[in-house]
Amino acid sequence: MALAGGEPANIENLGRSEDVEATLSGIAEITGAGGRGGAVDYGESGIAEITGAGGRGGSVDCGESGSTLRFLIPIAAMHGGDWVFTGRGRLLERPQSVYEKIFSDCGAVFEHDRNRIRVRGPLPAGLYEMPGDVSSQFVSGLLLASPLMDGECRIALSSPLESAGYAALTVDVMRAFGVSVETVFGADGKTAGWRAPSGARYREAPYGVEGDWSQAAFFLCAGALGADVAVSGLSAKSAQDDRRVTEILEGMGVELRSADGVFSARPDPGGLRGTRIDARDIPDIVPPLAALACFAEGTTHFVGAGRLRLKESDRLAALAGELSKLGADIVETPDGLRVRGKPKLRGGDVSARGDHRIAMALAVASLGCEGPVRLEGAESVGKSYPCFWTDWECNGER
């Protein structure tokens, strides 16, 4: 919306978490106070010269938001001048090699140390090759910046795409604001890249944010443990890969019901059963599913989850360590977790390790504990879901 010259107030259902606030603040800094947007001038060189309403260059505090950082880096580069990105926690330790190579290959500036990332563009139109087995945030960031380039932008994947749903969401949102991106498919029928046309421009338009399957998964897993809870505002046809939580829950023996966008989960009288979960496309719902697996008969194997080690915490280590404190039989593997279920856990003292999704996963696990669960760092949910504990209490849970 900001790149189209609009205001975030015109977006319906926009949740205001710490990550969202960081993105709103950052895009306002880049495009000008209040998100007024800037002027694009291709000039004689054919290179886009974009003047933000707030001037050229500046500093963007991304907090702990990886999406803010990776979405805004290429956009800032297209606005000219020097831009410095800062953050907290483990943010600047997270991999940035995709952008390092892209900027280096086209002669732009990308400097990265433990305290900041400095960039200076612009990025030219043309072909960009990147691996598909990294965060889709790099794909989304380059796609979002592509209409600011001086011609057609093509993105080619050098390896199979993971978290494809997030890239599809980016394409859908761009289309809603007037930019039609073509998805290129390989011989195997899978996504091999994208083509953003020359001359495309964002246009202001009304937009409503659909419900978040990543957050809904925590409450659906709570329902699978007997909590009386329903989640509204979800689309079964969403491009979000995390909607797969419903099929995974059904595979574990959970009864799912849906009507008019309201979803609920109920435990099956036969009990939960272990399964194998490939997490390559659904890393964000591993935490609630790992908590649920602690109570499933047999063994649940999580595979393809190695990228969880690079989040706000090492989530594989955090899940194994904190759920073990509650009495769970859970161990790390190189790229996942192995969980042997038990009828009940004992409860105890645990830590969110500064990670919002670990905090919410431990809340889910508390439903199957015989004793109380005391959680240090409960406030970390503010990163993505500030009203989580209010919603949790509204459903009568501890």
The per-residue pLDDT for range 102-156, each reduced to its tens digit, is 999 999 999 999 999 999 999 999 999 999 998 999 999 999 999 999 999 999 9
The torsion angles phi and psi of 37, rounded to 5 degrees, stand at 85, 175
55: left (phi over 0), alpha (psi -120 to 50) or beta: left
Question: Residue 37 pLDDT > 50, yes or no?
Answer: no
pLDDT of residue 375: 98
Kindly tell me if the per-residue pLDDT of 54 is higher than 50: no
Residue 184 pLDDT > 60, yes or no?
Answer: yes
Alpha carbon distance 65, 20 (integer Å): 8
Task: Dump pLDDT digits (tens) for 59-90.
Answer: 999 999 999 999 999 999 999 899 999 999 99
64, 162, 335 from 113: Cα distances, Å: 16, 27, 27
- DSSP class of residue 121? -
The dihedral over CA atoms of 281, 284, 287, 290, expressed in degrees to the nearest 10, equals -20
Residue 289 confidence class, pLDDT cut points 50, 70, 90: very high
Could you read off the pLDDT of 307-359 as tens digits, one per residue? 999 999 999 999 999 999 999 999 999 999 999 999 999 999 999 999 999 99
- 98: which DSSP letter? H
In which residue are the tokens 């996942």 written? 336
Helical pair 356-366 and 315-325, crossing angle rounded to 10 deg: 30
pLDDT at residue 353, as a whole number: 98
Domains of the chain, with CATH numbers?
2-208 (3.65.10.10), 213-394 (3.65.10.10)
Cα→Cα distances 206→33, 167, 173, 177, 209, Å = 21, 21, 11, 9, 10
Residue range 19-36, pLDDT digits in tens: 999 999 999 999 984 433
- Strand order in 126-130's β-sheet? 126-130, 153-157, 191-196, 182-185
Amino acid occupying residue 87 = G
Mean pLDDT of the chain: 91
Indicate the SS3 state at residue 33: helix
**Which alpha helices (DSSP H) does the chain contain, by range?**
18-31, 66-77, 97-105, 136-145, 164-176, 213-224, 245-251, 286-293, 315-325, 356-366, 388-394
**Does the annotation count 284 as an active-site position?**
yes
Task: State mean pLDDT over 46-63.
Answer: 64
Of the candidates 141, 106, 140, the residue with the CA atom closest to the CA atom of residue 125: 106
Amino acid 260: pLDDT: 83
Distance from C-alpha of 308 to C-alpha of 352, rounded to nearest angstrom: 15
Q: Give the span between the Cα atoms of 372 and 366, in whole angstroms.
A: 7
Considering the candidates 150, 212, 241, 284, report the single residue annotated as catalytic.
284
Burial of 100 (C-beta count, 10 Å sphere; 0-12/13-18/19+): middle
- Is a pLDDT exceeding 90 seen at residue 361? yes
Measured in degrees and rounded to the nearest 5, phi and psi for residue 78 equal -75, -10
Collapsing DSSP to helix, strand or coil, 120 comes out as strand
Asked if residues 156 and 164 have their Cβ atoms less than 8 Å apart, the reply is no
Phi/psi for 333 (5° steps) reads: -120, 170
- Start-to-end CA distance of the chain, whole Å, equals 39
Alpha-carbon distance of 204 to 255, in angstroms, equals 42
